[in-house]
């Protein structure tokens, strides 16, 4: 049964959200509302669960991160990846106020990308009259979901959107931090670096430091399996210390060293900036990573 939405924001209310979040475009807020409804519907239908969890920036958002994710809804699946028809059916949503229609699929390296996922936001009188109202991308990874899922309350900064109260399954925080460390070292995308620093600065008590290094090693091993050339130099924890400690000097083996995508970063409220992130990485993340690595070798 399709999710029942109690209340939708009006166009005027959406304008108010945009005014309250300088730097976030109105169309990005509409897309964000659509993605939240999509997530809620997938939880409501038990598509997202212990074995199929949210990951990436949207999972950080649901933990309270102010980094505003713009286009992607990332997820990870514990067992087999869904078939094309299962994935398309999972994303479809059809109501008088919103339609969501997956329109393309790419399957490569144990990841499926659905793009574009098109939508028609009838709840927004301005957006519903647009001949090209927008789209987002949904990704599901089969590259390994190791830890039990975390569950958080579905929360969002749009008081006029009223969805049923629910718990949303997320990739375990320690596993997600480990994945983002590998993402930074391999691809050099600043969002990963900032996300790790924010998590250690804000959610340190929820990070299992004993599992930290083993999870990083597991993610590195999977990367070397899928991308032997790109991960060739990422042989273990010791190879990550330089890119984490001195990120300005990092030349990512699978990324563009001249473009860390910092210009695409968006924040809805004040956050950890790059300079602060470097301090957190040196003072908090690296000591825990090294200590965890040493302890795991002793066991």
**Which of 170, 199, 226 represents a domain boundary (last residue)?**
170
**Averaged confidence pLDDT in the chain:** 94
Average pLDDT over every residue of 144-165: 96
pLDDT per residue as tens digits for the range 19-51: 999 889 999 999 999 999 999 999 999 999 999
The average pLDDT across 153-178 equals: 97
Q: Is 6 inside any structural domain?
A: no
Residue 2 lies in a domain: no
Integer angstrom CA distances of residue 272 from 185, 189, 207: 19, 16, 18
Q: Is residue 1 part of a domain?
A: no
Q: What's the rounded Cα separation, in Å, for the pair 156 and 34?
A: 12
pTM above 0.85, yes or no: yes
Q: Is residue 182 domain-shared with residue 163, that is, in the same domain? A: no
Lookup: tokens for 213: 């290094």
136 and 38 in a common domain: yes
Per-residue DSSP letter, 283? I
pLDDT of residue 126: 82
Full residue range of the structural domain in which residue 242 is found: 173-298
> Which residues, at least 6 apart from 190, have a Cβ–Cβ distance to it below 8 Å?
184, 260, 261, 262, 265, 274
Percent of the chain with pLDDT over 70: 98
Q: How many CA atoms lie within 13 A of 165 on its CB side?
A: 0
pLDDT of residue 156: 95
Which residue among 149, 170, 191 closes a domain? Answer: 170
My answer on whether omega of the bond before 45 falls inside 30° of 0, hence cis, is: no
The reply to whether 138 and 91 lie within a common domain is yes
Q: Give a yes or no: residue 203 inside a domain.
A: yes
Is residue 230 in some structural domain? yes
pLDDT at 298: 64
pLDDT in tens, 270-299: 788 999 999 999 999 999 999 999 888 766
Q: Do both 125 and 95 map to the same domain?
A: yes
Give yes or no: residues 154 and 210 share one domain.
no
Asked whether 71 and 115 are in contact (CB, 8 A), the reply is no
DSSP of 176-237: HHHHHHHHHHHH--HHHHHHHHHHHHHSGGGS-HHHHHHHHHHHHHHHHHH-TTTTTT--SH
Q: What are phi and psi of 144, to 5 degrees?
A: 120, 115
Q: What is the pLDDT of residue 299?
A: 60
């Amino acid at each position: 049964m399709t999710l029942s939405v109690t209340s939708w924001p009006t166009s005027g209310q959406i304008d108010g959200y945009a005014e309250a979040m300088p730097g976030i475009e109105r169309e990005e807020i509409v897309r964000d509302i659509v993605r939240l409804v999509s997530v809620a519907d997938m939880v409501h239908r038990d598509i997202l669960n212990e074995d199929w969890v949210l990951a990436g920036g949207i999972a950080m958002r649901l933990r309270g991160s102010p980094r505003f994710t713009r286009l992607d809804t990332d997820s990870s699946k514990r067992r087999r990846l869904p078939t094309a028809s299962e994935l398309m059916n999972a994303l479809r949503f059809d109501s008088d106020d919103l339609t969501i229609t997956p329109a393309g699929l790419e399957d490569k390296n144990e990841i499926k990308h659905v793009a574009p996922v098109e939508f028609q936001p009838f709840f927004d009188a301005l957006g519903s009259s647009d001949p090209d109202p927008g789209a987002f991308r949904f990704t599901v990874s089969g590259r390994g979901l190791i830890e039990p899922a975390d569950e958080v309350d579905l929360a969002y900064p749009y008081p006029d959107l009223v969805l049923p109260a629910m718990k949303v399954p997320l990739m375990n925080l320690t596993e997600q931090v480990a994945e983002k460390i590998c993402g930074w070292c391999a691809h050099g995308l600043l969002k990963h670096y900032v996300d790790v620093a924010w998590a250690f600065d804000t959610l340190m008590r929820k990070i299992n430091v004993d599992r930290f290094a083993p999870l990083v090693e597991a993610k590195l091993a999977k990367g070397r399996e899928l991308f032997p050339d790109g991960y060739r130099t990422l042989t273990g924890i010791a190879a990550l210390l330089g890119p984490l400690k001195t990120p300005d000097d990092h030349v990512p083996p699978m990324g563009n060293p001249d473009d860390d995508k910092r210009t695409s970063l968006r924040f809805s409220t004040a956050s950890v900036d790059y300079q602060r992130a470097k301090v957190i990485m040196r003072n908090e993340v690296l000591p825990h990573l090294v200590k965890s690595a040493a302890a795991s070798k002793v066991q």
